[in-house]
Chain A
Amino acid sequence: MVGSLVGIQGVGAAAPSLRLRAGDVAAAWGSRGGKGQAAVCAADEDALTLSWLAVVRALANAGRSPDEIDGLWWGTSRPPFAEGPSLAVLGSALRLRSDVAGALMSGSAHAGMEALVAAWDAVAAGHARIAVVVASDAVIPGPGTPWESRVGAGAVALVLTAGAGPAALVSRAHRNWPVLDRYRGDGEASTRDMYDPRLFREEVFLPLLTEVAGKIGEAHLWSLPDPDGRLGAVLARRLGADASASASVYAELGDTGAAAPLLGLRGVLHTPGRAAVLGYGGGRATGVAVEVNDALPGSADDLGAGMVVSYPEALRARGQLLSTGEAVPMGVPPGSAAFVRGGVEMLALQGGRCVECGTLNVPPSVHPACIGCGGEKFEVRDLERAGTVHTFSVNYSMPAPFVAPLPLLIVDLDDGARVQFQGLPEDAPNLAVGDRVELVLRRYAVERGVPVYGYKARRVTS
């Protein structure tokens, strides 16, 4: 069925910082019950920042450096720009080569499966030797909708290579049917659900997925979709499949949309044998079977428990609970010449190393003369993304949209560069001089609907 063999070399995943309990959502709307929890992005996280972390982890697990990657295929229903440079921004922040191939798949929760298949084809055809697939979502549900408490966020990345790796992609099947279920119209902020549970279950979901499952053949472990908290179990019974790995992702993170099929798949990639994943969304279903030869590096990594927040805190983080009054403009016109000059050095985190005295000048675009010796010759290089806190403050006095507490850290990176970064609010109470920190990509600001990304320093506790 397929040409050259394509293997999976490593996997990485990321969950956002926050967790919301379904019971708290139900209570806010005056109803009882509500089981489980879902992952929610902090105000500075989104599908792009989660993707970044998942890919960084996948590359580390696969033992690959960013400049070896020939293509990046990203599937998400929530790219940061409905139209704009989402893929290019992610590629720069990942320090991928500027000639990197790839595509952004979007439009539905099926996007993650589409990205996997497209990357597979590119490697099989020999257009890319090593490709990265990342599937991520940070779906924003409408407040008060029945599925609000189940909508989660997360990301997962696979490194694909020509030839079999610890795992190999072996078969696939598709099914197309123009039915409407979950959707979001042009310009709408939150996703809606035209959802008649029995109609969807009997006429759409079960028929499509059992058909696709039949075409990809037998497997001992499955990643199955579970759009309402019940259908996953029904489908598993219908197929006689063990879907406990994907069920535990749903239990922990909620419905992670485009990331869900591959997050579930990740959970079965440490057990040798035949595994299979089914993905559904936007009237399309795809099934893929994988032959696992050895436990895949990264398939058992812990994603962290996250921080449980109240319903109002979650609404604030999602931008659905806003204070009255005007926020100060953030003064970051993203289309300006300053971003043409400084965009890559910000996203890739670069410094100008003085060839005379070795001092790292950050950022390079505004440093024609070395702060150490006045020298004028520099090599631009990527900076280390870990370091030590030299000193810090925690700012409480800023106008909206800033939110206190905001740590500001002067960090000595491990390569000797000294750079100021924002810290994370949850680290504010415990910060100390000498703390170890790692840098994570976060959304610093949104100006006229345009996100601006940069690194923040996260305290390393272990």
Chain B
Amino acid sequence: MSWNRVAVVGAGLIKFGELHQQSFERMAAGALEAALASVDKGMSRSAIDFAVVATQRTTLWGHESISGNTLPSVLGLNGIACTRVENACPTGSDAFRIGAMAVASGVYDCVLVIGVEKMRDKSPDEGLLSRAATGHPIYQRGESAPALFAPFATRHMHEFGTTREMLASVAVKNHHNGVLDPYAHFQNEVTVEQVLSGPPVCHPLHLLDCCPQTDGAAAVILVPAERAAEFTDKPVYIAGFAMASDHPWMHEKSSYLGFKATTLAAERAYRMAGLGPADMDMAEVHDCFTITEILDIEDLGFVEKGKGGIASIEGETAIGGRIPINTSGGLLAKGHPIGATGVAQLTECWWQLRGEADQRQVDIRHGNVLQHNVGGRGSGVAVVNILTTNTT
């Protein structure tokens, strides 16, 4: 029996991209509007009594720390409780987990989980790349985001014979899915040859092995399960969730063949949901780089350890395949506005379970789907959320 104490009754996002004309506040307002509009029986924003805002990076123009101070006002919710969550790449999915606990505790009746991120208010050099100059002056110097994942690719290739073509197949699939997703940043197909011949970013990862820097916002609305019927006849429940951590330094991994934090979070979330990987109809997983998706599908139990590359190149993870992965286009094509990413993945999961994913719709046989993020230094934090339509 799954946990099922909290229902997701609304979810929505804005079109991801380089949204130079939209302020942080406008993006947030757009996501809230989309989520409210998605509630089948309607919802007034005044129903919301607590907001968890997920945002990871600081931005320009006075938003050095977007917090509970800012969001209620700009969302027309002045006066409500609001807390900012920051937890590296799983910021959005962790905010969801915290929102679920807030509802389940009985303290709040209607919780807004909103992820907003302005990645492109700063130039690329001042953005994620500048993290090469952060951390320990010796042992972490030069570690920009791709350098947190590329060593895993090197070792996976060494140990299992994973090839760059296998990595490229992930980018090809996710760009294809992105073309089917009107919210995706990129709306173009790519070929294996294009991925292989792109400029190197961090060996063995080349440009199209990497997700872009994208602005975006997404929101979901949570209520106690027993109140779901007030808002919808097609409720989606939270079957289980978990978070796990691992040592934060790159040299502290006992293995570079997977992410321990993901494995731990998955075990806990599956146990809470009373489900396993074979019960999932699809999953939105963290594909900041092509290698990340390959490791994720192994760590989450969808394929055997070491077989992620082969499963990808053989189409097992495509829409219509054995276990469709990242139908939304994933971080690689939809984009990775960090705080919004997890919330947007959950929106895709919600649509898939409700049969509302249009051309991307997968076959829902079991009624369960999974969402996952992993990140931080040394990929030391991971969150897994499982959604279901089953009530027994």
B-contacting residues of A (Cβ < 8 Å)?
Answer: 328-332, 346, 362-363, 366, 371, 390-400, 402, 405-406, 408, 410-411, 418-422, 428, 433, 444-445, 452, 454-455
The reply to whether B154 and A391 contact each other, CB–CB distance below 8 Å, is yes
Name which of B86-94, B245-253, B271-279 contacts chain A: B245-253
Segment at the interface with A among B1-9, B73-81, B135-143: B135-143
Q: A391-B158, A444-B137 are in contact. List 20 more A-B contacts (CB 8 A).
A: A332-B137, A371-B252, A390-B256, A391-B154, A394-B202, A397-B201, A398-B142, A398-B144, A402-B133, A405-B203, A408-B142, A408-B143, A410-B251, A419-B251, A420-B140, A421-B139, A452-B138, A454-B137, A454-B138, A455-B138
Any A CB within 8 A of the CB of B64: no
B202 near A363 with CB under 8 A, answer no
- Are B152 and A391 touching (Cβ within 8 A)? yes
Contact with A along B196-235 (1 / 0, CB 8 A): 0001111111000000000000000000000000000000
Q: Which residue of B lies closest to A423 (CB)?
A: B142
How far apart are the CA atoms of A392 and B251 in the complex, in Å? 11
Residue of B nearest to A346 (CB): B138
Shortest B248–chain A CB gap in Å is 10
Interface assignment of B134: CB less than 8 Å from any CB of chain A: yes
Summed over the interface, the residue pairs from A and B with CB atoms below 8 Å come to a total of 123
Contact partners of A396 in chain B: CB under 8 A: 199-203
Question: For chain B residues 142-159, which have a beta carbon within 8 Å of chain A?
Answer: 142-144, 146-147, 150-155, 158
Contact of A362 among B129, B202, B251 (CB under 8 A): B251
- A330 and B154 CA atoms in complex are apart in Å by 27
Contact A402 B139 (CB under 8 A): no
Partner of B150, one of A393, A400, A405, A428: A393
Q: Which residues of B contact A (CB under 8 A)?
A: 125-126, 129-130, 132-134, 136-144, 146-147, 150-155, 158, 199-205, 247, 249-253, 256
Q: Is A395 a contact of B138 with CB atoms below 8 Å?
A: no
> B140 contacts which chain A residues (CB < 8 A)?
420
For A332, what are the chain B residues with a Cβ–Cβ distance below 8 Å? 137
Q: Are B136 and A330 in contact (CB under 8 A)?
A: no
Is B250 a contact partner of A433 (Cβ separation < 8 A)?
A: no
Q: Do the beta carbons of A418 and B252 come within 8 Å of each other?
A: yes
Contact B202 A420 (CB under 8 A): no
Q: Report the separation of the CA atoms of residues A34 and B154 in the bound assembly, to the nearest whole angstrom.
A: 46
Q: Which residues of A contact B144 (CB under 8 A)?
A: 395, 397-398
**Closest chain A residue, CB of each to CB of B151:** A391
- Give bound CA distance, A62 to B98, whole Å: 63
Q: Are A395 and B251 in contact (CB under 8 A)?
A: no
User: Which residues of the partner chain B approach A328 to less than 8 Å between Cβ atoms?
Assistant: 125-126, 130, 132-133
CB distance B147 to A433 under 8 Å? no
A408 to B204, CA, bound (A): 12
The smallest beta-carbon distance between B120 and chain A, in angstroms, is 16
B249 touches A420 (CB 8 A): yes
User: Which of chain A's residues has its CB closest to B136's CB?
Assistant: A363
Q: A390-B256, A397-B146, A398-B132 are in contact. Are A444 and B141 (CB under 8 A)?
A: yes
- Chain A nearest CB from B254 CB (Å) reads 9
Pair B147/A329 contact, Cβ less than 8 Å: no
Task: Give which listed residue, A366, A393, A399, A421, contacts B129 with CB less than 8 A.
Answer: A399
The residue that A331 contacts in the complex, of B134, B142, B199, B200, with Cβ under 8 A, is: B134
Q: Is the CB–CB distance between A391 and B247 below 8 Å?
A: no
Instruction: Tell me the smallest distance from the CB of B140 to a CB of chain A, in Å.
Output: 7
Which residue of B is nearest A407, CB measured?
A: B203
Whether B138 lies near A444 (C-beta < 8 A) is yes
A408-B151 CB under 8 A given contacts A395-B146, A397-B146: yes
The answer to whether B155 touches A346, judged by C-beta atoms less than 8 angstroms apart, is: no
Q: Return the chain A residue nearest B201 by Cβ.
A: A397
Which residues does chain B contribute within 8 Å of A394, judged by CB atoms? 150, 200, 202-203
Q: Known: A362-B139, A445-B141. Contact between A392 and B146, CB under 8 A? A: no
Contact A393 B154 (CB under 8 A): yes
A308 to B147, CA, bound (A): 30
Closest chain B CB from A54 CB (angstroms):
22
Contact of B251 among A405, A418, A444 (CB under 8 A): A418
Question: Whole-angstrom distance from the CB of A419 to the nearest CB of chain B?
Answer: 5
Q: A392 touching B154 by the CB < 8 A rule? A: yes
A393 touches B132 (CB 8 A): no
A402:B142 contact, CB within 8 angstroms:
yes
Q: From residue A410, how far is it (CB to closest CB) to chain B in Å?
A: 6
Instruction: A395 to B139: give the CA distance in the assembly, Å.
Output: 15
Given A394-B203, A399-B132, A444-B141, A410 and B256 contact (CB-CB distance below 8 Å):
yes
CB <8 Å contact, A410 and B151: yes
Say how far A416's CB is from chain B's closest CB, in angstroms.
12
Query: A433 contacts B155, CB within 8 Å?
Result: yes
CB distance from A26 to the nearest CB of B (A): 36
Say yes or no: B251 contacts A452, CB within 8 Å: no
Contact, CB under 8 Å: A393 / B151: yes
**A363 — which chain B residues lie within 8 A by C-beta?**
136, 139
Taking a contact as CB atoms closer than 8 A, the residue among A346, A433, A454 that contacts B154 in the complex is A433
Given A331-B133, A419-B251, A393 and B202 contact (CB-CB distance below 8 Å) = yes
Residue ID in chain A nearest B157 by CB atoms: A433
Residue of A with least CB distance to B149? A393
Please measure, in the bound complex, the distance between the C-alpha atom of A406 and the C-alpha atom of B146, giving whole angstroms. Answer: 12
CB contacts (< 8 Å) of B153 on chain A: these are 393
Q: CA A99 – CA B153 in complex, angstroms?
A: 46
Residue of B nearest to A452 (CB): B137
CA distance A329 to B132 in the complex (A): 10
Interface centre among B129, B141, B150, B205 (most CB of A within 10 A): B141
Q: Which residue of B lies closest to A455 (CB)?
A: B138
| Interchain residue pairs with CB less than 8 A apart (23) | A328-B132, A391-B152, A392-B154, A393-B202, A393-B204, A396-B200, A397-B146, A397-B201, A397-B202, A399-B126, A399-B130, A399-B133, A402-B132, A408-B147, A410-B151, A410-B250, A410-B251, A420-B139, A420-B250, A421-B138, A433-B158, A454-B137, A454-B138
**A362, A363, A390, A444 — which one has the most chain B CB atoms within 10 A of its CB?**
A390
Q: How far does the alpha carbon of A433 sit from the alpha carbon of B205 in the complex, in Å? A: 16
Q: In this complex, which of A346, A397, A402 has the most chain B Cβ atoms within 10 angstroms of its Cβ? A: A397
Report the bound CA distance from A402 to B347 in whole Å: 39
Say whether A371 contacts B155, CB under 8 Å. Answer: no
